Each structure stands twice: as C-alpha cells, then as structure tokens.
Amino acid sequence: MRPTFHFTAETGWINDPHGITYRDGGYDVFFQYVPGQTVWGPNCEWGHARGADLLSLKRLPEALVPGDGDDGIWTGSLIADEGGINRIFYTSVQQPDIGIGRVRVATTTDAALASWEKGAVLIEAPKDLDVIAYRDPFVFRDGNSWRMLVGAGLADGTAAAIGYTSPDLVNWDYQGPAVERSSSEREPVWMGALWECPQLIAVEGQHVLVSSVWDDDVLYYAGYGIGAFEHGHFFARTWGQLTFGPSYYAPSYFRDADGRPCLTFWMRHIEDAAAGWAGAHSVPYLLGIADGRLTASVHPDVYSHLGAPLSSSETVGTGAFVGVWSPAGERGRLEFTAEGKTVFDLNLVGAVMTANTGGSEPMTVPVSGPVTIIVDGPVVEIASDGGLLGFPIAGASEFVVGGDTSELEVRLWIGGPAT
C-alpha cells in the first residue's frame, strides 16, 4: 500500500532528502534515488521533485546521475549565491572505497534547477586525520564567508564534522574538525562513531548541530547538540536524541516560505517490493527549543490539507488522517484497528509513550504536551515536544480508533489546496 501524502518514488529506491529549497512559490526537493531496484545501491542519483508544499511533490527528471568520474552521487547541499549561480555540493564516490567520498560541485543558472553541469572535485578527505568514512557536505553562510561541514568517522571511534571555509564558494581552505565526539561517550546521549548529514543551523538564537548517528554500518537515529558556533568551531552545551523508532534517519534542514527552520527525514522500511518501490520522506517539521531540548512540531502546511475535526467516541478514519491526543492524566491508551484486528496501539505512562505493532519489539518515545499522531497508509509518525517516533505498519484503507478517544481530535486528509 502506498502512502497518500508521504513522498515516495513511483518505482525504485529513495533515501536521504537534501537540497530542499523554497523559491518562486514552491519547494524543490532533491533526494537519493536508485532506479530499478528496491534495495539500496552505491550508484545513487540525485532525484528531483517540486510542489507548492512538501505534501504535494511531483517527480521531475533526475538532476545528477553517475558517470564522468562518479560511481555514485551521494548526499550534499544546494546553495544559490547572489550572482544567480546555483551550486550543488555533493558526495562523489568511487569504487572500491565508497565509504570515503570526495566533495564535488555542479552548477546551473537554469531557473528550473533542471540542468546541471558537473565541475571539479573541490575537496578530498584530510590526510592528517585517520579517516575511515567521509561524506555529506553541508554549506552555509557565516558572515562574509562560507562554511562547509563534512561528516566523518575516525579510526579511533570518534565522530566528527570536518570544517572548511571559502570566500567565494570556489576556493576552500581546510580548518580541521569543527566538532568531534568519541563514541565512548554515552551521557546524556550516545552520538555514534560517524556523523552522516551533519548540519549546523540557527534555532531561536542558538546554534544546533543535527546529525544522523551511525556505527559499524548500523543506522540509528537523529541526534543533536545545542551550543555555540564560534570561529569555525561548534561548542555543545548539551546533546540530545531527536528521533526514536526504526524509521527516521537522514534529517534534511531547510527554511520554509516564512524563513523558519525545518527538517524533513528519510523514513526507512516503508516499502512495497511487489509494486517496485521502497523508501519515503516524512512530513515537514518546524524546529524550536524548549527546556533545553530541540523540538520538532508538525508543519502548518500539513493542516492545510485536512478537513474539519471529527466528533465521535469511536473515531473512524480513512487510511490517511492526523490526530492530536491530549490525555488529561499521566496514563492513557489508544488502539488502532482495521477489519477487527489491532494494527498498533499507544500506551502512555507518565512522560513515556510505548507503541506496539505486534510484530516487533515495543517502541518508546519521551512525550511532552499534546501528541500528534499521523497515519498515512503504511506510515505512522508521532510527534510531541519530547521527540519523534516513526514506524511502518500494515496499511489499511480505514481505521477504527478506540480507547481514550474523548481526548483525541481527528482530522481526515482531504488533499488540496496545493497541486
């Protein structure tokens, strides 16, 4: 079963979103794409889609494909400079050592961001560090200059974001690690041995490093540090875990139409191999900071596609709906059934919610305040100020919701107004 409003490829494999750009009244989204198969392969391309919002994306021809010295084109970022030149900084990989990429640039002056010309390899992994993994450039403005962070893993188990600076986006100077953390450090949260997709962003006047947590070819979750970025170095005051469950990975930062900081995630294990597709992207999330934690709330664009709230003691939803659950006490339970069988249930005890699907280990997520529950065919996303939980389910065309439904407001997906 395919989701209604979570972005998927018609066929083939997708993973990381990146280069999300708002321009001319709509969003361009680029993403990792492997055509013709439902499992990941190193020969990734940069897929391209556009829509009035991130719930209304339509596929466009691929932006970058392997060849010309690239065996695979992995994650990176897109920058539009003041002169009208758009630049993609991407991870170029070559066999056999695909784990250590190179940073290459592609440029266009095409207003549709459709036709790109590959340029030079700008940066290779530094020789003064014992690097065993290197990828995912993230470029951002810092005063009158530009900065780049590249995710890295070192042989001693240290995760790092390697820093570079440039006056013109063409000539780049190596600055050494902008921030690093040993995989032996576990408190207050473990941040792995490699940072994939490290991104430094400003949220409510503070600097936040958001990254995917990786170790020994296992993908874990999105973690973050909150602190200050000074003179090319990030100093974390605290570390935290943003996502929980088996699905969320590879957060992609962007600013929305109103300039607000946001993230979209790759959602793993959302697939239909028989139909020939695998991978989905999450709904967009607005970022904030509350009680020293990074928070992610469902973007208002989602609600523009929903109908009026339903009123029922036993709520019936189509296969695509959004609910807001506001339990009155410290305990509560919701059960989501289809054709008389439980698909998943949610149990709240204190500040922890547990989700059960029956076919896997129970999943937990800390919660704070109202809880938003998104169900879209085979996708579930759960959001509160405590964190995000995402997981796959057996999709259904209709759900019955039982339990503490008097504390649940449900709105069905109706599509529109975006096209």
Dist CA 164 CA 153 (whole Å): 16
Strands 331-338 and 320-325: unpaired
pLDDT in tens, 83-116: 789 999 999 999 999 999 999 999 998 989 999 9
**pLDDT in the model for residue 417:** 63
**pLDDT in the model for residue 381:** 98
Residue 53 has pLDDT above 70, yes or no: yes
Mean pLDDT, residues 314-339:
91
**pLDDT in the model for residue 168:** 94
Residue 406 has pLDDT above 90, yes or no: no
Q: Which residues are CB-neighbours of 325 under 8 A, at least 6 positions away?
A: 332, 334, 346, 370, 371, 372, 373, 404, 407, 408
Q: Is 201:210 a contact under the CB 8 Å cutoff?
A: yes
pLDDT in tens, 188-199: 999 999 999 999
State both tokens at 310: 């339903």
Name the one residue in this structure whose structure tokens are 């494909």: 65
Q: What percent of the chain has pLDDT over 90?
A: 91
**pLDDT in the model for residue 329:** 87
Q: Is 131:154 a contact under the CB 8 Å cutoff?
A: yes
More confident residue, 272 or 312: 272
Residue 418 has pLDDT above 60, yes or no: no
**pLDDT in the model for residue 360:** 74
Helix/strand/coil (H, E, C) string of 63-116? EECCECCECEEEEEEEEECCCCCEEEEEEEECCCCCCECEEEEEEECCCCCCCC
**pLDDT in the model for residue 410:** 94
pLDDT in tens, 218-275: 999 999 999 999 999 999 999 999 999 999 999 999 999 999 999 999 999 999 999 9
**pLDDT in the model for residue 84:** 84
Dist CA 178 CA 387 (whole Å): 26
Give 137-144's long-range contacts (Cβ < 8 A, gap of 24+): 137/76, 137/77, 137/89, 137/90, 137/91, 137/103, 138/76, 138/77, 138/197, 138/198, 138/199, 138/200, 138/253, 139/77, 139/79, 139/87, 139/89, 139/169, 140/200, 140/201, 142/229, 142/232
Dist CA 199 CA 40 (whole Å): 23
**pLDDT in the model for residue 358:** 86
Q: Is 29:7 a contact under the CB 8 Å cutoff?
A: yes
Residue 313 has pLDDT above 80, yes or no: no
Mean pLDDT, residues 114-127:
97
**pLDDT in the model for residue 312:** 65
As to burial, measured by CB atoms within 10 angstroms (0-12 exposed, 13-18 middle, 19+ buried), residue 269 is: middle
φ, ψ (nearest 5 deg) of residue 106: -130, 145
Closest CA to 281 of 10, 113, 39, 31: 31
Mean pLDDT, residues 379-384:
98
**pLDDT in the model for residue 419:** 43
Domains of the chain: 12-301 (2.115.10.20), 306-412 (2.60.120.560)
Dist CA 163 CA 212 (whole Å): 17
**Alpha-carbon distances, residue 123 vs 107, 146, 375 (angstroms):** 16, 15, 42
What's the CA dihedral at 8, 10, 13, 17 to 10 degrees? -40
Strand (E) or helix (H) holding 303 = helix 300-303
Q: Is 195:110 a contact under the CB 8 Å cutoff?
A: no
As to burial, measured by CB atoms within 10 angstroms (0-12 exposed, 13-18 middle, 19+ buried), residue 99 is: middle
* Cross-strand bridge partners of residue 77: 89
State both tokens at 211: 């990254």
Average pLDDT, the chain: 95
Dist CA 263 CA 210 (whole Å): 10
Dist CA 156 CA 129 (whole Å): 10
The lowest-confidence range among 40-44, 51-55, 306-310 is 306-310
**pLDDT in the model for residue 80:** 87
Residue 284 has pLDDT above 90, yes or no: yes
